Amino acid sequence: GRACSECPYAPPNYTLVEHQENRGAGVSRNDGVAAGKGGVIFFGEADDVFYEHHIPMCWDQLRQHPNVGFAKMRMDAGREYLEMSFVFGDAPVQELHPHWQVAIEDTSPMNLCVRREAHNFIRGFPDGELFHMDMEDGAYMMALYEAYGGVKWLGPPSTLYVRREGNGLDRRMVQFTNAPGSVPLG
């Protein structure tokens, strides 16, 4: 709610959806979509930044490809995008391993724009205890890829995933800076 109230200019029409308890990101996203009215959906969270070309590029991709259900954009993440120094804990922060950069781009909803009918067809993000704190993004994207064709923009990144202490990027940074399988999942 703070971002909406601190906007330096009149915000567009919006509906603030609040939960009394944390039921997971998937439930929050689904409730936000249900409260919205638009035909195209964007997902943004506290650790996400949309560059000014993100929304126009998404619209362009959907207009150029009217038969796809969604468009994915590139995203920035890694050492340049910390809200703190380049030393995190006792270790210098490294760039994301190329495999994980692509994997994060392909599963994150932050760099996604999806047509409402595609979101509704797959019944939104999964919920339930299994998805309360993790994995709902990957399950959602797998359902979209399975049910609909999509397009991925390979130009410059249009979103930024900021590493904040304790967020998903931060919790998995040791894994994301190494080759797949070289660090136990945690």
Q: In whole numbers, what is the pLDDT of the chain averaged over residues? A: 81
Whether 80 has a pLDDT exceeding 90, the answer reads no
Match 């994060």 to its residue by tokens: 104
Residue 28: in which H helix or E strand, if any? helix 25-35
Residues 6+ apart with CB under 8 A from 72: 105, 106, 111, 112, 150, 151, 152, 153
CB hemisphere CA count around 48 (13 angstroms): 17
Nearest of 56, 70, 67 to residue 118 by alpha carbon? 70
Q: Which amino acid would we find at residue 22?
A: N
pLDDT digits (tens, 9 = 90+) for 113-130: 999 999 999 999 998 776
pLDDT digits (tens, 9 = 90+) for 139-155: 999 999 999 989 988 88
pLDDT of the residue at 12: 62
Which one is predicted more confidently, 101 or 8? 101
Whether 9 has a pLDDT exceeding 80, the answer reads no
pLDDT of the residue at 67: 93
